[in-house]
């Protein structure tokens, strides 16, 4: 009986060992199966990346400089924007103003309270991009970024400074439908601040250029300029005028209306975009 | 006895029988054992194999993701990251005569029919050559690079012998854009001519080839430059054209074009005369474009202090040689007028006052006595005038000094001129030209050639030439272009040839804070209706700059502004009116 108990115990041990061994085996197999699955996925990634590169190269080849030029010569006839199509400051923009209606009184223009903002608006850094450091990498970097952070100042003061610049102000886009519903107070919240529209049009330059082409979206531009003004809590009446003005002169002003070099470097990353667009207009 | 014998015999028989039985049993056991051993061995082998497969399967030669994606040759991009050259698995057209089996004809149709169909798909293909290859019965490439849509068309011909292996080759998505800068890669995978040759080691180094190499070029500006140069070349029936856009501060080459160009995608055709780079390799007497350099040298040396001082402009006799102007500008001119009308005589007088050592020193400081500083392998050595003394290293003769002052007797590349103009307008610092993208914080060390005040004065003078003088057709509104025309006759047998000109326009913009230098050169432009019957730079090279600057300015961050300009009001009263070269 003793012997049989001993024997039973050793058989039990062996069985346990076997079960453990089998479990280890199963685990190892599973691990390995997973590993080969990862490997397969990697191979798939490689082939997809290669395919992506292939397609990317094909697009680049089809849209190469010479091809674009050919299309432009035959189909589009875009030319480089002339000096008259660029605005360097708000005064130039305001100069396009029309009275609100026939026989309407001249709008009352009040002086700006914030000296820094006013000074910058009055004496824009005309050749800031040129006179400063030869900061040639900035536009390149800007075109890669989403340019969204620049349009998202942390607080109102910062925002006021940022929007003192005409280019930055024009760059603020509010979606058409939303703009109508927005109350001035409401536009102060973070939602409309970043100029992100529902349809994902974030890049201001692009939007403006599109608008300029057919001139149908003037209202959106006017509204956005207005909203931006309200947000900045600055010049009030003049802002409205300028805004409505922007609408009336949108077709004339764009493309490449934002003067890329004139925006103070570092303040906004956007200037590169209109420049790129201008580039497209004359490949 | 008998019984004993019989019993013994029986006993023996039994023993033998027992032995036989024993032997049979042993054999059977042995066989069973063998079978068992075999079974155990097979089971063990299977277990070991299962274990091996389960546990250690693809550990050998597992390549990482990065390695698998590493291109065979590194990518070259422009400064904004646009791919200019990349390793790319493209289709090639391979003729495999054994595709239909070894016996019988390799093609379904006749070689002539197939060749004709191929020429229909690839119009530049050589029919006779194709027929010869298809008839030879030897496997060969019919074409190295085939577009997918063309490959589909060839596939539709229904010839199994025409195959499309995908091979990793060098591909230039932008075609011939910047061909002279990039160069090409031959069939053996070796880079030639441009940066492909210069960067050979880096592009092939596994540690580096994963990251693209950024050049200083801007593909958009490059495209515009090639486009406008090509147009100018067509309008004037010129033999060739060259152009370079240089960042005035950093010396980065934003665009560099030499026309006619070649297509680096057809490396089999690329090695011909067209790979010759007119910008960095060919030296020219660039004529009047040297005048501002002479004036800057004179202002810098204190020889010209008052720009109102008038110099005689009547033909100037020097021994048997007479220096004269293209037109008669009256008896005397001051320095601004001399530049505006491009007077050789006045420049000769200024250079005479300046003296050979000072002018020579300026030219040397601008690097005119050595090959241009750029990474490209093909760089031309200037024709540097011989001086007196031992080995011609002494000072120039008086006449040499005078001719050099207006750009004759010295031949340099357009790139030399671009670097010199950058120094002329950027505040006086000469920097080597480079094709690598430079971090503005780590500019290459430069050397001061002119004082900042001299540079400021020259900016005014160059702007005046465009506002009032020979460069009027380069005046892009709002871009504050400044520059100087140069129309030099080409030397031929027995003196200069009156009708073979090198027309150059050397410009910079915007003149209030120059960012870019633009050099445009036409080789032997003809007088056409497009140039109002003229063949000088004012009529052919200057308009190219006038069209080019508005295209590239906004892309390069220069905003046109009609209300902003360099102040030339102190010089304007000094200038009359007239016409020059």
**Chain A nearest-CA residue for B91:** A54
Instruction: For chain A, 283 residues long, give each residue's pLDDT as a single digit of tens.
Output: 556 888 888 899 999 999 999 999 899 889 889 988 998 998 898 889 888 988 898 899 888 888 899 999 999 998 888 888 888 777 778 777 777 777 777 777 666 555 555 555 554 444 444 444 444 343 433 344 444 444 444 455 555 555 556 666 666 655 554 444 444 434 334 343 343 333 433 334 333 433 333 433 333 333 443 443 444 333 333 333 333 333 333 333 333 333 333 333 333 333 333 333 333 333 3
In chain A, what residues touch B556 (CB-CB under 8 Å)?
275
What span, in angstroms and rounded, lies between the C-alpha atoms of B423 and B404? 18
- pLDDT attached to residue A146: 41
In chain B, what residues touch A86 (CB-CB under 8 Å)?
478, 559-561
CATH code of B223-574, in short, is 3.40.710.10
Q: Are A277 and A206 in contact (CB under 8 A)?
A: yes
- pLDDT attached to residue A201: 38
Beta strands in B173-252 (DSSP E): 184-185, 191-192, 213-214, 240-247
Alpha-carbon distance B85 to nearest alpha carbon in chain A (angstroms): 10
Give B29's contacts (C-beta < 8 A, 6+ positions apart). Answer: none
- pLDDT attached to residue B483: 94
Longest Cα–Cα distance in chain B: 170
Cβ-defined contact of B555 to A144 (cutoff 8 Å): no
| Residues within 8 A of A (CB atoms), B 491-530 only | 510, 512-513, 515
What span, in angstroms and rounded, lies between the C-alpha atoms of B198 and B195? 5
A279 touches chain B (CB under 8 A): yes
Cβ-defined contact of B55 to A32 (cutoff 8 Å): yes
Residue A238 phi/psi, 5° resolution? -55, -35
- pLDDT attached to residue B149: 79
Alpha-carbon distance B280 to nearest alpha carbon in chain A (angstroms): 23
| Most A CBs within 10 Å, among B557, B565, B567, to test the A interface | B557
| Most B CBs within 10 Å, among A65, A133, A142, A257, to test the B interface | A65
B68 touches chain A (CB under 8 A): yes
- pLDDT attached to residue B11: 66
Cβ-defined contact of B83 to A60 (cutoff 8 Å): yes
Closest in A29, A54, A130 to B558, CB measured: A130
Closest in B247, B515, B557 to A275, CB measured: B557
In chain B, what residues touch A71 (CB-CB under 8 Å)?
none
Query: Model-level pTM greater than 0.80?
Result: no
Q: Are B329 and B310 in contact (CB under 8 A)?
A: no
> What is the DSSP code (8-state) at residue A74?
I
- pLDDT attached to residue B531: 84
Alpha-carbon distance B457 to nearest alpha carbon in chain A (angstroms): 18
Q: Annotated active-site positions of B, please?
A: 288
Would you call A152 helix, strand, or coil by DSSP? coil
Q: Please name every residue paired with B516 in a beta bridge, in sequence order, or none if there are none.
A: B247, B509
ipTM over 0.85: no
| Residues within 8 A of A (CB atoms), B 81-100 only | 81-83, 86, 88-89
What is the tens place of the pLDDT at every residue in B16-62? 888 899 999 999 999 999 999 999 999 999 988 888 877 776 554 55
- pLDDT attached to residue A164: 56
B207 touches chain A (CB under 8 A): no
Cβ-defined contact of B62 to A83 (cutoff 8 Å): no
Four-residue CA torsion sign, A212, A214, A215, A216: negative
Alpha-carbon distance A170 to nearest alpha carbon in chain B (angstroms): 17
Alpha-carbon distance A173 to nearest alpha carbon in chain B (angstroms): 23
In chain B, what residues touch A266 (CB-CB under 8 Å)?
none
Cβ-defined contact of A282 to B224 (cutoff 8 Å): yes
B47 touches chain A (CB under 8 A): no
Cβ-defined contact of A83 to B478 (cutoff 8 Å): yes
Helix spans in chain A (H): 2-62, 65-71, 90-94, 115-122, 128-131, 137-144, 156-164, 166-171, 176-181, 190-193, 204-214, 218-232, 237-253, 272-281
* Token code pair at residue B544: 């190219």
B222 touches chain A (CB under 8 A): yes
Q: Are B497 and B491 in contact (CB under 8 A)?
A: yes
Question: How many residues are listed for chain A in this entry?
Answer: 283
B300 touches chain A (CB under 8 A): no
| Domain boundaries along the sequence of chain A | 1-62, 83-281
Cβ-defined contact of B177 to A131 (cutoff 8 Å): no
| Domain boundaries along the sequence of chain B | 223-574
What span, in angstroms and rounded, lies between the C-alpha atoms of B125 and B103? 29
Q: Is A78 exposed, middle or buried (0-12, 13-18, 19+ CB in 10 A)?
A: middle
In chain B, what residues touch A60 (CB-CB under 8 Å)?
82-83, 173-174
Instruction: For chain B, 581 residues long, give each residue's pLDDT as a single digit of tens.
Output: 565 566 666 667 777 888 899 999 999 999 999 999 999 999 999 988 888 877 776 554 556 676 777 888 999 999 999 999 998 888 888 998 888 887 778 888 888 999 999 998 888 888 898 899 888 888 888 887 787 778 888 888 888 888 888 888 888 999 889 999 999 988 888 888 889 999 999 999 888 888 899 999 999 999 999 999 999 999 999 999 999 999 999 999 999 999 899 888 877 665 677 888 999 999 999 989 999 999 999 999 999 998 999 999 889 888 888 888 888 888 889 999 999 989 999 999 999 999 999 999 999 999 999 999 999 998 999 999 888 777 777 889 999 999 999 999 999 999 999 999 999 999 999 999 999 998 888 888 889 999 999 999 999 999 999 998 889 999 988 999 999 999 988 888 777 787 888 999 999 999 989 999 999 999 999 988 888 888 888 999 999 999 999 999 999 989 898 888 888 888 888 887 544 44
- pLDDT attached to residue B440: 84
- pLDDT attached to residue B53: 76
Cβ-defined contact of B555 to A69 (cutoff 8 Å): no
What span, in angstroms and rounded, lies between the C-alpha atoms of B46 and B54? 12
Q: Please name every residue paired with B517 in a beta bridge, in sequence order, or none if there are none.
A: B246, B508
A-B CB pairs within 8 A amount to: 150
Cβ-defined contact of A129 to B80 (cutoff 8 Å): no
Cβ-defined contact of A66 to B223 (cutoff 8 Å): yes
Cβ-defined contact of B554 to A260 (cutoff 8 Å): yes
A96 touches chain B (CB under 8 A): no
What span, in angstroms and rounded, lies between the C-alpha atoms of B30 and B284? 100
């Amino acid at each position: 009986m003793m012997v049989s108990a001993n024997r039973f115990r050793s058989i039990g041990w062996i069985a346990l060992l076997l079960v453990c061994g089998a479990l280890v085996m199963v685990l190892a197999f599973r691990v390995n199966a997973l590993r080969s699955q990862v490997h397969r996925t990697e191979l798939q990634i490689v082939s997809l990346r290669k395919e992506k590169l292939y397609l990317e190269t094909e697009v680049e080849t089809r849209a190469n400089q010479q091809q674009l030029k050919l299309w432009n010569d035959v189909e589009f006839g875009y030319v480089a924007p002339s000096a008259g199509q660029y605005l360097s400051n708000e005064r130039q923009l305001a100069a396009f103003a029309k009275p609100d209606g026939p026989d309407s009184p001249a709008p009352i223009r009040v002086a700006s309270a914030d000296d820094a903002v006013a000074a910058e608006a009055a004496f824009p850094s005309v050749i800031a991009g040129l006179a400063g450091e030869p900061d040639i990498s900035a536009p390149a970097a800007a075109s890669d970024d989403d340019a969204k952070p620049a349009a998202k100042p942390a607080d109102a003061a910062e925002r006021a400074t940022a929007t003192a610049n005409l280019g930055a102000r024009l760059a603020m886009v509010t979606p058409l439908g939303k703009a109508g519903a927005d109350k001035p107070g409401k536009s102060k919240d973070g939602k409309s601040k970043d100029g992100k529209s529902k349809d994902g049009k974030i890049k201001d330059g692009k939007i403006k250029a599109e608008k300029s082409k057919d001139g149908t979206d003037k209202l959106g531009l006017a509204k956005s300029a207005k909203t931006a003004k309200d947000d900045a809590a600055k010049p009030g009446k003049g802002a409205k005028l300028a805004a409505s003005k922007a609408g009336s002169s949108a077709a004339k002003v764009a493309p490449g209306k934002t003067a890329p070099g004139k925006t103070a470097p570092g303040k906004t990353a956007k200037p590169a975009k209109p420049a790129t667009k201008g580039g497209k207009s004359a490949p | 006895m008998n019984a004993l014998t019989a019993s013994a015999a029986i006993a023996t028989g039994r023993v033998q029988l027992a032995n036989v039985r024993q032997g049979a049993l042993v054999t059977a056991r042995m066989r069973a054992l063998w079978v068992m051993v075999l079974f155990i061995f097979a089971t063990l082998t299977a277990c070991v194999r299962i274990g091996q497969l389960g546990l250690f399967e693809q550990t050998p030669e597992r390549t990482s993701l990065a390695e698998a994606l590493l291109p065979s040759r590194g990518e070259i991009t422009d400064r904004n990251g646009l791919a200019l050259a990349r390793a790319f698995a493209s289709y090639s057209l391979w003729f495999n005569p054994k595709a239909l089996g070894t016996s019988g004809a390799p093609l379904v149709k006749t070689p002539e029919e197939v060749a004709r169909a191929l020429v229909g798909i690839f119009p530049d293909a050589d029919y006779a050559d194709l027929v010869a290859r298809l008839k030879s019965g030897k496997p060969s490439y019919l074409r190295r690079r085939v577009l997918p849509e063309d490959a589909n068309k060839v596939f539709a011909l229904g010839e199994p012998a025409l195959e499309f292996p995908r091979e990793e080759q060098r591909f230039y998505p932008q075609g011939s854009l910047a061909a002279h800068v990039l160069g090409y890669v031959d069939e053996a995978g070796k880079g030639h001519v441009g940066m492909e040759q210069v960067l050979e080691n880096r592009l092939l180094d596994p540690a580096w080839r994963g990251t693209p190499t950024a050049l200083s070029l801007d593909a958009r500006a490059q495209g515009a430059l090639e486009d406008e140069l090509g147009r100018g070349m067509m309008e004037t029936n010129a033999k060739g054209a060259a152009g370079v856009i240089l960042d005035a501060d950093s010396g980065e080459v934003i665009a560099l074009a030499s026309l006619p160009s070649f297509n680096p995608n057809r490396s089999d055709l690329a090695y011909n005369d067209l790979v010759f780079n007119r910008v960095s390799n060919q030296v020219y007497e660039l004529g009047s474009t040297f005048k501002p350099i002479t004036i800057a040298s004179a202002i810098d040396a204190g020889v010209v202090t008052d720009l109102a001082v008038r110099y005689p402009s009547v033909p100037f006799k020097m021994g048997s040689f007479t220096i004269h102007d293209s037109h008669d500008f009256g008896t005397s001119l001051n320095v601004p007028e001399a530049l505006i009308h491009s007077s050789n005589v006045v420049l000769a007088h200024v250079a005479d006052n300046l003296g050979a050592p000072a002018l020579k020193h300026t030219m040397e400081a601008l690097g005119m006595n050595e090959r241009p500083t750029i990474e490209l392998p093909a760089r031309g050595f200037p024709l540097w005038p011989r001086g007196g003394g031992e080995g011609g290293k002494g000072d120039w003769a008086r006449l040499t000094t005078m001719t050099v002052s207006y750009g004759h007797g010295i031949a340099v590349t357009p790139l030399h001129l671009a670097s010199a103009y950058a120094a002329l307008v950027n505040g006086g610092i000469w920097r080597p030209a480079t094709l690598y993208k430079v971090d503005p914080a780590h500019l290459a060390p430069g050397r001061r050639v002119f004082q900042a005040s001299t540079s400021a004065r020259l900016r005014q003078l160059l702007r005046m030439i465009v506002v009032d003088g020979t460069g009027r057709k380069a005046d892009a509104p709002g871009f504050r272009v400044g520059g100087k025309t140069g129309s030099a006759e080409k030397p031929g047998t027995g003196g200069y040839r009156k009708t073979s000109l090198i027309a150059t326009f050397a410009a910079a913009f915007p003149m209030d804070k120059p960012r870019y230098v633009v050099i445009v050169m036409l080789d032997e432009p003809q007088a056409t209706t497009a140039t109002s019957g003229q063949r000088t730079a004012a009529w052919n090279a200057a308009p190219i700059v006038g069209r080019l600057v508005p295209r590239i300015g906004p892309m390069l961050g220069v905003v046109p502004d009609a209300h902003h300009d360099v102040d030339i009001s102190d010089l304007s009263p000094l200038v009359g009116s007239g016409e020059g070269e």
